[in-house]
Chain A
Amino acid sequence: MGILTDLYNTVAKFFRPQEESEDASKSVATNRLKLVLMQDRTNLTPKILEQMRGELIDLLSRYVEMDKELLELNFEQEGDQVALMLSIPVIRAKDEEEIEAALNADKDAEEESSEETAENSDEMDEEAVNQQEGDETPKVSAPEEFNKNEGSESAEEQHVEA
């Protein structure tokens, strides 16, 4: 009987359709292709994306303390619309004094680096983001609630229409 079972299993294995595997080259190809096509379609090079990521970190870290290493900037496609997804693991929100201090520190830094006096350092940075995005003005919706408990993490997602 044992021989027969072995034989059956061997034969059955031969006829069984191949099982789906997570790392099948098809899904690798699909994901790589999706990303490269987003870059092609939007004309955003990896260099510009990296720059954008850096500037967004600078801007947002005035208001929240976050895990910079885990910040993700990705494209997602919904129909014809391409969305820029920003996922930020927020450690905690800064209080008003800290925000004030961060803004002033940035202001001082800018005054030092350039002769022109920046009226509002916030606007300066937003302009920089606008230039990356092209003609359309990005709508960055401010996160409404922060988790104020120190140490705990919450991810806020912001959508920027690309």
Chain B
Amino acid sequence: MTGRVIVITSGKGGVGKTTTSANIGTALAKDGYKVVLIDTDLGLRNLDLLLGLENRIVYTIVDVIEERCKLKQALVKDKKNPNLSLLAAAQTRDKTAVTAEQLKEICDTLKEENDFVLVDCPAGIEQGFQNAVAGASEAIVVTTPEMSAIRDADRIIGLLEAKEEIKSYKLLLNRVRPSLIKSNEMMSVDDVVEILSCPLVGIIPEDTGIITSTNKGEPIVNDENALAGKAYRNVAQRILGEEVPFLDLDEPKGFMAKIKNAFSKLKAKV
């Protein structure tokens, strides 16, 4: 078996790379695929927290590279889903502890026995980015509808284009706020796609549920009712090659919003 290695990157920090990695990984594993998540953010690891695995980490990626353990020993199985495992970043070391070749070797080994290897990339465009991208053949560029995040995403797309090994890259637009788009205070999905001219793989609405899910160490895809969870499950389906329509985020969700909506429709008729 040869699995797919996908790097999740963004340039800018705090746009949701790690949340995206945790959720796509969990969603794919729920569908029965074998998935390994690699946290390459040495010194600033967080993927373990989002998965609720922080107390189970014994060995890290640096231990594997410095041959203190076997690669298999360093993989931490998810609590709920045996299909999902995590290769954690070392918290006490920096980016120089790993080279691009070493990371590529780890990806190459892992894709032999897994359907998906998802690489959570650190912010920035320096060595950490170069390392994370080294073993990947696909990329997901995470951005938000803000100027600085889009500018950084553009830079990342430029760098990915220059890499021969990256065969395809897609855009994931995170933290979209339909109400702000409606009032012209936020760039719309179309605006962002036009500016970056990059195909979309997902639109994730801003969802306060993300905060509680992080608090609990439980990716939001496990919450059947959360809109962001549904959006991430759709992303997983699109990665698997299915054509899933993008969520209609204009639909008001709350009780009050529904009344408001009904009233404005009524008013339109009058």
Which A residues are within 8 Å of any B CB, using their own CB? Answer: 12, 15-18, 20-21, 24-27, 29-30, 32-34, 36-37, 40-41, 79-80
Shortest B171–chain A CB gap in Å is 14
Interchain Cβ contacts under 8 Å between A and B, 5 examples: A15-B260, A25-B185, A29-B147, A37-B150, A40-B154
Contacts of A40 in B (CB 8 A): 151, 154-155
Contacts of B184 in A (CB 8 A): 18, 20-21, 24-27
A20 to B197, CA, bound (A): 25
Closest to A11 in B: B263
Contacts of B155 in A (CB 8 A): 40
Beta-carbon contact of B185 and A37 below 8 Å: no
Beta-carbon contact of B195 and A18 below 8 Å: no
Given contacts A15-B263, A15-B267, contact A30 B191 (CB under 8 A): yes
Beta-carbon contact of B151 and A33 below 8 Å: yes
Beta-carbon contact of A15 and B151 below 8 Å: no
Closest to B191 in A: A30
Q: Please tell me if B49 contacts chain A, counting CB pairs below 8 Å.
A: no
Bits for B162-195, please: 1 = Cβ < 8 Å to A, else 0: 0000000000000000000111111110010001
Contacts of B187 in A (CB 8 A): 26, 29-30, 33
Q: Please tell me if B264 contacts chain A, counting CB pairs below 8 Å.
A: yes
Shortest A80–chain B CB gap in Å is 7
Closest to A16 in B: B264
Contacts of A37 in B (CB 8 A): 150-151, 154, 195
Contacts of B182 in A (CB 8 A): 17-18
Contacts of B185 in A (CB 8 A): 24-26
Contacts of B254 in A (CB 8 A): none
Closest to A34 in B: B195
Closest to A17 in B: B182
Closest to A37 in B: B154
A32 to B187, CA, bound (A): 12
Report whether over half of chain A's contact residues are helix, strand or loop; otherwise say mixed: helix
Contacts of A34 in B (CB 8 A): 195
Report whether over half of chain B's contact residues are helix, strand or loop; otherwise say mixed: helix
Q: Please tell me if B158 contacts chain A, counting CB pairs below 8 Å.
A: yes
Extra contacts, 12 of them, besides A24-B185, A26-B185, A33-B195 (Cβ < 8 A), are: A12-B267, A15-B260, A21-B184, A24-B184, A25-B184, A26-B187, A29-B147, A33-B147, A33-B151, A33-B187, A36-B151, A37-B151
B 65-93 contacts with A by CB, 8 A: none
A80 to B195, CA, bound (A): 10
Shortest B152–chain A CB gap in Å is 10
A37 to B185, CA, bound (A): 20
A88 to B188, CA, bound (A): 34
Closest to A15 in B: B264
Contacts of A17 in B (CB 8 A): 182, 264
A18 to B183, CA, bound (A): 6
Q: Which 4 pairs from chain A and chain B are nearest by CB?
A: A24-B184, A18-B183, A26-B184, A15-B264
Beta-carbon contact of A26 and B260 below 8 Å: no
Beta-carbon contact of A26 and B191 below 8 Å: yes
A18 to B195, CA, bound (A): 25
Shortest A77–chain B CB gap in Å is 8
Bits for B132-163, please: 1 = Cβ < 8 Å to A, else 0: 00000000000000010011001100100000
A76 to B154, CA, bound (A): 17
A37 to B158, CA, bound (A): 11
A33 to B154, CA, bound (A): 11
Beta-carbon contact of B186 and A33 below 8 Å: no
Beta-carbon contact of B147 and A32 below 8 Å: yes
Shortest A66–chain B CB gap in Å is 32
Shortest B218–chain A CB gap in Å is 34
A27 to B183, CA, bound (A): 11
